[in-house]
Structure 1
């Protein structure tokens, strides 16, 4: 907002346009006169005066917005619109529509007592001014209507945007049309889900004709969209929800597998998450669950589902899977977001104990030798131990047990843990320990004295 002209390159566009217009001596009828350097006997504004007036009005709007003087900004903004509607500079118009879109929505959101009718009138005015942005403005208008609960009007706006054509269809226009088409299907899904929520029972909802008609409309559109390469997460989830409601699990699985495994689609970790969640809901075999999570691990090794992958690998009872679980859990703990997560450390400790029980410590040593220098500096510094002794004692104890399983001797870390263990015990237990120690010392002294006496008698 501090430098709108530079961001949108309006100064360069204005200079080019002023040169072209001054050559042809084009005159513009004045709307709101903020600058008039070259008076015309016929009372008309030249192209240069129009540009200067336009720029001055824009600066006044910016100053008012920076001071949060929203009523004044709204007044200047109405003048700015009038100057643009009067002018005929096409290059400035295309840039100005973008400025109007940004500034106008910001002002309307902050002006007190602004009504939904004001927003609707503003969006309609924008559509007529910025022809190239017509589809985008319709889509934003739709979002605003949805926020105010006007679903039918939002659907009408999207239908208008879907049928809009302007000149030759460029790549940008085709992408925008695809997005609007996707939101048309999504809006049908929202209406369907609203009808489903208001239906008294699941059986009656399944046989509801009105609901089924919205399902057909939404499914046709969404199926067409999600079959094309792209990231369509909200649209995929809505389509899967409808397919599961009508118990078409085969179609839902096929859709999710295509979305996750199709090489033409961009790499998307969420696709594998959705597939795993679907397989888990429908009690798929463990092999399929592990397969989907293995791909997710290759994409996002820090994902929270890696703990579930470890637990699944632990239950296979195969040594290779157990070793893989060790790698996955250690990969997870190398991310700072998991550094102090007790569940992740407990998972690693469980894996190490199982490997030790199965006498597979060679695999543990091999993995530890690769990571040792990083882990000792990242997880087991002295100040970390002291901090955990004050904030998270349970985590400290788990990390100490992990060190023992790894065969590492960190004296300072063990000393801190031992000190806490002693302090955590009740006084009676500590007194009992002291008595035991003194008793053992006395026994040793007696044994030594007995041995000495026996030697002397001999």
Structure 2
């Protein structure tokens, strides 16, 4: 922001022809300038003066936004965009187009009286202002229309963006086109989903025909997109939802397996989650479920589905799977997000109990010895025990039982757990016992007296 000549590219400006220079100065003269400097004697502003005014305006916009004074920011922004529209050096205008886009949308979102028409007018103005960002602005405009329920207009904006071409096709433009194409399919899916809801309660053939038409459009586009390497989570889920609705389970499974296992695709834990959830919905064999979750464990050992993997491994009745369940559960508890999860600790305790029943307690102690130094510092410090005794006594007791299975002699931890356990037990009612004994003695005396009489 401080290097004026670099930002404006003064060297390039000086090389312009005298006619261009005169034309630029004439355009700048017409602009709305905010700085307080005086023009030269001819009454026109130089390019550096113009850039100074823009910088000052940007600074005022920034300060107003930091104070959340959105009305003031909108006034300054209106002046800023007028100066740019009046005519500037092409490089400055190109750089300012994205600044204008980001600032304007942020201010509009926070203005209390802004309407959908204001957004539409602003986006249309931006499209004519920065052609390099035309496709991205159309895509953002589409998102805004979708959030306001205007699906048909959103589809029109995407169609315009899909057909837009500017200059030589670059890699960046190609990626943007691919993204726009994928959202075209996603929008068709959303419209299909709406039509499906209305068509299910109707017997009209016209409604069903319209719904199937959107399904065909969406499925063709989404199939093309998800078959290309990339991370396409929302589009994959949309495509699978449609295939499941029409009971095309084989194609859906093929899509999910390709998304999860194709080596050309980037590593994506969600792909394995979607595959597992699909297999679970359709009651796949346990071996397939375990295989899917094993790969997920190798990618994200802290995932919540690891508890389901442990449960599946416990039901196979194979010793190797039981040992694997022990490893998976202990891996899970080494992440801070699971340290205080009673569910995860109970899962580990259950696995240890089963290993003891099978007389394989040495497996537990072998695994413990590998992790001992980490676990003692992570889970079994005295201050952690005191904290658990105040916040979650049940967690303290489960952790104590786990520690007993490992054969570890942590006296401080066991002492705190024992004290808490004794304190939590109900105290005997001494006074009640005394009264009961007195009542028993009185009744016996009465019986004796009755017998003697």
- Check whether TM > 0.5: yes
SS in structure 2 of the partner of residue 428 of structure 1: coil
Of 21, 25, 34, 2:13 maps to 21
Name the structure 2 match of 1:76.
Answer: 76
Cα contact 1:74–1:107 (8 A) shared by 2: yes
Distance 1:378 1:56, change over 3 A: closer
Name the structure 1 match of 2:436.
Answer: none
Distance 1:364 1:100, change over 3 A: same
Name the structure 2 match of 1:315.
Answer: 315
Distance 1:398 1:62, change over 3 A: closer
Quick one: distance in 1 between partners of 2:206 and 2:339?
Answer: 47
Distance 1:216 1:429, change over 3 A: farther
Query: 199-208 or 373-382, which moves further after superposition?
Result: 199-208
How high is the TM-score relative to the length of structure 2? 0.88
Distance 1:431 1:255, change over 3 A: farther
Q: In the TM superposition, what is the alpha-carbon distance from 1:429 to its structure 2 partner?
A: 8.4
Quick one: distance in 2 between partners of 1:226 and 1:261?
Answer: 13
Distance 1:208 1:12, change over 3 A: farther
Quick one: distance in 2 between partners of 1:262 and 1:431?
Answer: 75
Query: Are 1:195 and 2:195 an aligned pair?
Result: yes
Q: In the TM superposition, what is the alpha-carbon distance from 1:86 to its structure 2 partner?
A: 1.7
Structure-to-structure mapping, 1:141-156, within 5 angstroms: 141-156=141-156
Structure-to-structure mapping, 1:381-396, within 5 angstroms: 381-396=381-396
Query: 207-216 or 89-98, which moves further after superposition?
Result: 207-216
Name the structure 2 match of 1:261.
Answer: 261
Query: CA RMSD for the aligned pairs?
Result: 2.3
Name the structure 1 match of 2:446.
Answer: none
Cα contact 1:310–1:329 (8 A) shared by 2: yes
Q: In the TM superposition, what is the alpha-carbon distance from 1:408 to its structure 2 partner?
A: 1.8
Cα contact 1:219–1:239 (8 A) shared by 2: yes
Per-residue CA deviations over 1:200-242 (Å, capped at 9, x if unaligned) read 4499899811111111111111111111111111111111111
Q: In the TM superposition, what is the alpha-carbon distance from 1:89 to its structure 2 partner?
A: 1.1
Structure-to-structure mapping, 1:14-413, within 5 angstroms: 14-16=7-9, 18-24=10-16, 25=18, 26=21, 27-29=25-27, 30-35=30-35, 37-39=38-40, 41=42, 44-201=44-201, 208-413=208-413
Cα contact 2:364–2:405 (8 A) shared by 1: no
Query: 361-370 or 20-29, which moves further after superposition?
Result: 20-29
Query: 142-151 or 172-181, which moves further after superposition?
Result: 142-151
Cα contact 1:185–1:221 (8 A) shared by 2: yes
Query: 318-327 or 75-84, which moves further after superposition?
Result: 75-84
Cα contact 1:28–1:47 (8 A) shared by 2: no
Quick one: distance in 2 between partners of 1:204 and 1:325?
Answer: 53
Quick one: distance in 2 between partners of 1:379 and 1:402?
Answer: 11
Quick one: distance in 2 between partners of 1:64 and 1:365?
Answer: 63
Distance 1:46 1:260, change over 3 A: same
Aligned residues between the structures: 423
SS in structure 2 of the partner of residue 266 of structure 1: coil
Quick one: distance in 1 between partners of 2:412 and 2:33?
Answer: 79
Quick one: distance in 1 between partners of 2:276 and 2:429?
Answer: 50
Cα contact 2:199–2:207 (8 A) shared by 1: no
Cα contact 1:28–1:88 (8 A) shared by 2: no
Cα contact 1:260–1:271 (8 A) shared by 2: yes
Structure 1 unmatched runs, 5+: 433-458
Query: 150-159 or 422-431, which moves further after superposition?
Result: 422-431
Query: 249-258 or 104-113, which moves further after superposition?
Result: 104-113
